[in-house]
């Protein structure tokens, strides 16, 4: 056993970058019980040693005198105490089981609960509440201060414990050194990136290329490009990196409404859009990508949270853009929510961005409020009626409407710009 506490953690060698991870479900009660007993005996060596000494003495006394009552009494008390210990471990196992686990990140240790397929953060215990970390050959044990809400003690078992310990100690050390959470960057681990890319390909199509951001602050936003296909005749651009930031949700938003704290964003572009260009990309082709990256970066920059059926505007930041507002909805043509839980326990919601004209943004802010009303107004589609369509019919319908809306927006903006230029020419 090796123990780490707040005094020696500062001198412990840890990785420069710590990556989030999660515990395994306690699917085996014997495994959890073994870890609990190992720590119980290792952390209280004097008490356990005295029990052994008393047991030997009582046994020896019984052999010499023939009085076994003391031995039976002592054994009865010991068995009773150990039974209570086993029962408490069993209660912990039943509470966790395959319904809950712990997630570790820069914010602390979170108790995660699985509700209707969504992994919801129930509460987070900050790193300052950790008192000691014990390293065993096949388990990690964490103890907390009396004020901690999450637990008195946590047992980690399963695979990958060596890497988990490195990241755990790195997060703990980072918190001890006083790193400001808002000022630290948010990023995925390498395994998590691979995990997300696999899901994107499963959900949206084969990734043709990934545009890597050369310089990043706060969050690193890469763009996965999926080329038009017979099934999806449009470009699909998906962010990779926005979901590394945990958005500030209230308990009601997170627990009662089962909203996820992490988002990635999707945008569809017409099949003839110049997504790939040699040299500098022209503004007429780049503006939707800029809008996508701005939305992806905004939650971290401004401490905000974005949800489905929300309108976001950038009047000041995008004065010359063709669209200054976007509408967030589920990635159409699928009508159900698109979300994915990574191996680290991060449930990421994917939201589609639809650029809006000034008139459409105004209508959404003042007239249409429900998701169905907005889809009906924006795409001229009976959103509720679309649930009765087949998958093929739904895909054909929304594909046509989304691309038509995008082209109409571009054409409208072009005509408005032309009118402005003509007015300026006439004035001169």
Banded pLDDT at 80 (limits 50, 70, 90): confident
CA–CA separation, 380 and 309 (whole Å): 16
In which region does residue 364 sit, left (phi positive, over 0), alpha (psi from -120 to 50) or beta (all else)? Answer: alpha
Q: What is the pLDDT of residues 123-150, one digit of tens each?
A: 999 999 999 999 998 899 999 999 999 9
- Tokens 């890497």 label which residue? 163
CA–CA separation, 30 and 48 (whole Å): 21
- pLDDT over 90 (residue 236): yes
Q: Given this model, what pLDDT does residue 213 score? A: 83
Q: What is the pLDDT of residues 185-216, one digit of tens each?
A: 888 988 899 999 999 999 999 999 998 888 77
Contact indicator for 181, 106 with CB cutoff of 8 Å:
yes
CA–CA separation, 185 and 416 (whole Å): 40
Average pLDDT over residues 374-393: 89
Q: Is the backbone peptide bond immediately before 10 cis, with ω within 30 degrees of 0? A: no
Residue 203, burial from CB neighbour count under 10 angstroms (0-12, 13-18, 19+): middle
Please give the residue that has the higher pLDDT: either 354 or 75. 354
């Amino acid at each position: 056993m090796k123990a780490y506490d707040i005094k020696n953690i500062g001198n412990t060698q840890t990785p420069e970058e710590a990556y989030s991870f999660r515990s395994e479900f306690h699917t085996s009660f014997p495994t959890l019980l073994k870890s609990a007993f190992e720590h119980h005996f290792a952390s209280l060596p004097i008490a356990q040693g005295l029990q052994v000494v008393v047991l030997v003495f009582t046994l020896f006394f019984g052999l010499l005198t023939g009085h076994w009552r003391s031995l039976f009494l002592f054994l009865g008390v010991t068995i009773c105490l150990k039974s209570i210990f086993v029962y408490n471990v069993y209660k912990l196992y039943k509470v966790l089981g395959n319904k809950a686990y712990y997630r570790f990140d820069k914010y602390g240790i979170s108790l995660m609960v699985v509700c209707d397929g969504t992994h919801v953060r129930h509460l987070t215990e900050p790193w300052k509440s950790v008192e000691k970390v014990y390293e065993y050959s096949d388990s990690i044990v964490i103890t907390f201060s009396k004020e901690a809400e999450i637990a008195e003690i946590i047992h980690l078992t399963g695979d990958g414990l060596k890497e988990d310990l490195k990241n755990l100690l790195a997060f703990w050390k980072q918190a001890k050194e006083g790193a400001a959470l808002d000022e630290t960057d948010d990023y995925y681990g390498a395994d998590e990136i691979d995990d997300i890319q696999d899901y994107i390909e499963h959900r949206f199509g084969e990734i043709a290329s990934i545009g890597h951001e050369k310089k990043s602050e706060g969050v690193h936003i890469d763009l996965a490009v999926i080329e038009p296909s017979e099934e999806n005749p449009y470009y699909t651009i998906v962010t990779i990196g926005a979901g590394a930031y945990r958005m500030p949700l209230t308990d009601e938003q997170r627990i009662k409404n089962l909203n996820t704290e992490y988002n990635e964003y999707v945008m569809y572009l017409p099949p003839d859009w110049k997504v790939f260009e040699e040299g500098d990309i022209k503004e007429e082709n780049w503006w939707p990508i800029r809008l996508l990256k701005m939305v992806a970066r905004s939650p971290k920059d401004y401490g905000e949270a974005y949800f489905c059926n929300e309108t976001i505007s950038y009047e000041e930041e995008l004065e010359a853009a063709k669209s200054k507002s976007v509408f967030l909805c589920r990635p159409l043509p699928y009508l159900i929510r698109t979300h994915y839980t990574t191996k680290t326990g991060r449930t990421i919601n994917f939201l589609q961005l639809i650029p809006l004209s000034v008139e459409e943004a105004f209508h959404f802010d003042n007239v249409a409020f429900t998701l169905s009303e907005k889809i009906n107004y924006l795409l001229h589609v009976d959103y509720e009626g679309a649930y009765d369509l087949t998958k093929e019919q739904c895909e054909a319908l929304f594909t046509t409407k989304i691309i038509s809306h995008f082209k109409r927006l571009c054409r409208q903006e072009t005509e408005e710009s032309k009118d402005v230029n003509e007015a300026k020419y006439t004035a001169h």
